[in-house]
Amino acid sequence: MIEADQVVKHFGDVHALNGITLSVDEGEIFGLLGPNGAGKTTLVRILATLLKPTSGRCTLGGIDPHRDPMAVRALIGLAGQNAAVDDLLTGRENLEIVGRLYQLDRAEARRRADDILERLSLTDAADRQVRTYSGGMRRRIDLGASLVGRPRILILDEPTTGLDPRTRNELWQLIRDLVSDGATVLLTTQYLEEADELADRLAVIDLGHIIAEGTPDELKERLGGDRLMASPTEPDDMARVVSILEQVGATAPYVDDRRQQASIPVTNRIEALLAAGQLFENEQIALRDLAVTRPSLDDVFLSITGKRAETDEPEPAAAGRKGRRR
C-alpha cells in the first residue's frame, strides 16, 4: 500500500534521508521508530505530497504523490505532530471545514463531523474553541481531522509526543480502534513503547537510514532473547555472582559496575532462573535482585545504534521548518 524505493532528501548540506526503502502492506500498522532528527518527519512529508524527494520513488496505493498529488491527497489522512487545527474555531467547525475541503456538501460534512466527534468523545466540547482544549483533546481533534476524508492510508506523525502517560494510553486505544477495520497506517514515533504497543511491523531509522526492520518481536530476538540478571547485596560478592551466572548461561556474563548487577543471555528462562536460584541458595549469597528480563526496544535501539534513543527533547522544529521552506 505504501512503497518507498531509495528515497533520498537533501536540504543543502543536510542529508535528511539517505535512501529509504520500505514497503507497507494493506491493513498494516507500520511503525517508523527513530530519535529526533532521524528523518521521520521528512519521509512523512514526502509521502504526504508536501515535499519532493531529491531522488528515489514512492507510491501510495500505487500512485506517485508527485505525479498525481491530488489523487494521493484523496487517499490519505495526515495527523501531524504539531496538532494542526485552528485554535479560534470550535472542534466542530474544524472538522466541518476539512469536510468541505474534501468537497463534501454541507449536510454530509456536518454528519461526518458529528460522527467523529462522538467517536473521539469530544461531543461535549464540540462547540468550544479549540484553544480551550487540553493537550490530549487537541491531539484527538487533530486525529479526527485526518479521518474526515475516510482515508485508506492514515499517516500519523508522532501522534502522542508531549502527552502525559495516561492521555497517551487513551490515544493508543483510540488509534487501535480506528484502524482495526483495515486502514493502512504509517506511524512515526520516538517512543519505543509506542511502536511496541501499536505497530505490526516497524523500521528503525537513524540519520536518514533504515538500520533495522521487522516485527517488534523479531527485533527483540536480535538481541539474543531473554537475559538473566542478578545483583548482589554486597558488592564484594560480585565475582561469585558472575561465576554462578556462567554456569547457567551460554556466554560470558555482562557486568554493570555502576548498577552493581550482572546479566547473561539464557536460552530457557524458567530453567535458568530456577537453577540460578538454587545455586545462590547453596552458596548463601544475599541478592538484591534476581530476574529474567526481556530486552526492550530501547535495548534494541542501543545495540543497533550504539546510543540511547533520545526521547526527552522535542523535535528541532525550527530547523525542520527552515528546511521545508527553502
Residues sharing a CB contact under 8 Å with residue 305, sequence separation 6 or more, in sequence order: 204, 206, 211
| Closer CB to other proteins, 162 or 281, in the complex | 162
Q: How far is the CB of 69 from other proteins (least distance, A)?
A: 9
CB 144, min distance to other proteins, A: 10
Written as nine digits, the cell of 220 is 527483540
Residues contacting residue 7 through CB under 8 Å, at least 6 positions apart: 17, 19, 20, 21, 43, 46, 53, 55, 56, 57, 58
Element (H or E) spanning 58, and its range? strand 55-60
Among 19, 23, 71, 305, binds other proteins (CB under 8 A): 71
**Number of residues binding to other proteins, judged by CB under 8 A:** 57
Site membership for other proteins, residue 104 (CB under 8 A): yes
- Span 144-163, contacts to other proteins by CB under 8 A: 145, 147, 149-152, 154
Whole-number Å distance between alpha carbons of 111 and 99: 10
Residue 221 is a binding residue for other proteins (CB under 8 A):
no
Residue 223, interface with other proteins (CB under 8 A)? no
- List helix spans (H) across the chain: 40-47, 69-73, 91-101, 106-119, 135-147, 165-179, 192-198, 216-221, 238-248, 269-283, 297-305, 317-325
Distance CA 53, CA 45 (A): 9
| CA–CA dist 30, 201 (Å, integer) | 5
180 touching other proteins, by CB under 8 A: yes
Q: Is 124 in the site for other proteins (CB under 8 A)?
A: no
Instruction: Count Cα atoms within 13 angstroms, Cβ side, for 186.
Output: 29
If one asks whether residue 103 binds other proteins (CB under 8 A), the answer comes out as yes
> Does 179 help bind other proteins (rule: CB under 8 A)?
yes
Q: Does 86 bind other proteins (CB under 8 A)?
A: yes
Q: How far is the CB of 165 from other proteins (least distance, A)?
A: 22
Stretches 13-21, 107-115, 209-217, 219-227: which one binds other proteins (CB under 8 A)?
A: 107-115
CA distance 198 to 154: 13
In whole angstroms, how close is the CB of 37 to other proteins at the nearest point? 18
* 38, 95, 178, 241: residue in contact with other proteins (rule CB under 8 A): 178
Task: Give the shortest CB-31-to-other proteins separation in angstroms.
Answer: 19
Stretch that binds other proteins, among 158-166, 177-185, 216-224, 289-297 (CB under 8 A): 177-185
Report how far residue 55's alpha carbon sits from residue 41's, in angstroms, rounded to the nearest whole number: 17
